[in-house]
Amino acid sequence: MPLYELKNIAHQYNGHLALSIDHWVLESGRITGLSGPNGSGKSTLLKLLGFVERPTSGQIFLNGRKTVPFDAVVRETVALLPQATFLLKRSVYHNVEYGLRLRGLSRLTDNRVREAMSLVGLDFDHFAHRPWYALSGGEAHRVALAARLALRPKVLLLDEPTTSVDAASAQHIKSATLYAHQQWGSSVVIVSHEHQWLHEISHEILYLFQGKLLGSGHRTLLFGPWLPADDRKVYMLLIGEQRFEAPHPPPEAIHQVAAIAAIDLSILPHDNVMVPAPGRLQGTLTSMSLERITGRIHATVGMGSVVFHVVVPPEIFNRGGFTPGSAVWISYQPDDVVWY
Amino acid sequence: MDFLFQGFLQAFKLLLTGDPETYSAVAATVTVSSYAMAVSLLMGIPLGFALGHFRFPGRRAVRLVVDTMLSLPTVFVGLMVYALISRQGPLGQMGLLFTLPGIAIGQTLLALPVVIALGATTVESMDANLRTMLISLGAGRRQLLLGILWEARHGLVEAGLTAYGRVMTEVGIAMMVGGNIKWHTRTITTAIALETSKGMFAMGIALGMVLLLIAFFTTSAASLIKRK
């Protein structure tokens, strides 16, 4: 039985469609990353999964049962950490134990608070009685996460948990997230722009754009300007007079944003003898990260202001020649380009 | 200026010697203001919360009416209540004219819009993230409402204090509805008005000081609540 099933979901803010999902299933016991540009609907989706908001239309099933905000099953199962840190005007201890009291778990309070604070790297003796206003931004965010971890939730939803915190706080948050999944079997959904972490931790990364789920894996979005080329094609000019060619956008592509999935791009080291050609581009390898679950390498290739996301299969990577900063080729089939 | 000094001296004398007329006015004031505030808070806090928290059709119109009622002149309220409870009025048979409950009705009408309007403003100004935080930690509907109310408690206490200030200092309602009857419906403010009209400034100042003392104790009690 899937953890979540969303059917015909549409969610609007003041008449603006923020999210539209016809059908989506999320399996239990996995870590799922949500990626996409700002305004793509990631946080909205997370709020709906956390039952903080009710969708404008459509149905959400949790563990096979149609569920709405304030249902008992939600209160016992799901914990959401919003992007904006909000603490009650109380001590750290009382902030962390607040959720336990709400859920009628007061008898567990002391042990759970100690455990949760330890998981996020906050020393109990130093921080427990510190008031909310005596915390740094990173500490406050860790307290907020500790309040969720104290509940040992079956579903943990994290919205940009490592944004605007320092490296040490981010590391504690990442470790605590992994601990929740490994020790308690929590299903975790993470919205983050930190691609490397998402690749390291997630079983699957879903990409959203303009309120729609585009599917699994990263996309490179190209916003133009688009110029006419031969043979009913258009192109976007990249650094070094290179052309990213794509089929002519269909009339229904309102914004004329082209996207190509990371899986549809091939990569080769620059020492391979190749010449520029349509569907073949030269750039600089800017980063590489391991997709821990699949064993594949996720690479980014920069071409001026455009960064292409590429998946490198292990057999290609093992041939060598891939070091950040080195020149590489990427190639694609123009037919794989999708318009929005 | 001598009468000012004499007034302060007499104030202490009246209070320390337990002057029965003064204490009668104090008792009448505390009684009517307590009735008025009890009803205003019991009705006003839930209504103010609802107005600030929920979105419903006509909400802006309701808000406009409540805000307008903040400027209600006390003599106008006195007139309306007088018309209602006088012998020819719809509530005339209840015998409320020239009684303390009659004054309390008028003062409730004065305080209620203050509690509702300031309460709604307090709830509206609460951080939207508070709601998200409470739900995301597992709050039920009742816990959500209570949680927001608790976090808004400072603003709600302020709303109550502001309303209390209006009630304590008004003259028009107490004069028109109560009739300023000695030993019966004479409040501190109506007594001040009477003593001043008789040229007894010292007595007026003494009663004014009593009013200030009551306000001081009330505010001190409220600040204790806010500190928790």
**ipTM, two decimals:** 0.80
Rounded CA gap, B143 and B122, in Å?
18
pLDDT at A154 over 90: yes
SS3 B139: coil
Neighbours of B223 (CB within 10 A): 11
pLDDT at B127 over 80: no
Asked if residue B139 is part of any domain, the answer here is yes
**Cβ-nearest to B130 among A86, A147, A151:** A86
CB contact under 8 A, B133 and A82: yes
Specify whether the CB–CB gap between B167 and B211 falls below 8 A: no
Higher-scoring residue by pLDDT: A275, A47? A47
CB contact under 8 A, A102 and B134: yes
Asked if residue B179 is part of any domain, the answer here is yes
Range of the domain at B120: 29-187
Amino acid at A331: S
* pLDDT at position A187: 94
pLDDT band at A168 (very low <50, low <70, confident <90, very high): confident
Asked if residue B69 is part of any domain, the answer here is yes
Please name the residue of chain B whose CA is at the shortest distance from the CA of residue A99: B137
CATH code (residue B79): 1.10.3720.10
Give the angle A63-A68-A69 at the CA atoms, nearest 5°.
115
Asked if residue B82 is part of any domain, the answer here is yes
Residues 6+ apart with CB under 8 A from A99: A79, A147, A148, A150, A151, B137, B138
Question: What is the set of domains in chain A, with CATH numbers?
Answer: 4-88+150-212 (3.40.50.300), 218-339 (2.40.50.100)
CA A99 to chain B, closest CA, distance in angstroms equals 5
Q: Write out chain A residues lying below 8 Å of B132, CB-based.
A: 47, 52, 80, 82, 86
Q: Write out chain A residues lying below 8 Å of B136, CB-based.
A: 50, 52, 78-82, 148
Higher-scoring residue by pLDDT: A277, A267? A267
Distance of CA A66 to the CA centre of its chain: 25
Asked if residue B132 is part of any domain, the answer here is yes
As a whole-number percent, the residues of chain A with pLDDT over 70 amount to 97
**Cβ-nearest to B129 among A76, A79, A84:** A84
Average pLDDT over residues A282-293: 84
Q: Write out chain B residues lying below 8 Å of A50, CB-based.
A: 135-136
Look up the pTM and report it: 0.79
Mutate to test the interface with A, among B136, B142, B153, B227 (most CBs of A within 10 A): B136
Rounded CA gap, B201 and B195, in Å?
7
Q: Write out chain A residues lying below 8 Å of B141, CB-based.
A: 70
Asked if residue B170 is part of any domain, the answer here is yes
Asked if residue B11 is part of any domain, the answer here is no
> How many distinct structural domains can be found in chain B?
1
Asked if residue B175 is part of any domain, the answer here is yes
Average pLDDT over residues A118-137: 92
The pLDDT tens digits for A178-228 are 999 999 999 999 999 888 888 888 888 898 988 888 888 788 888 878 888
Assigned token pair, A76 = 């016992």
pLDDT band at B59 (very low <50, low <70, confident <90, very high): very high
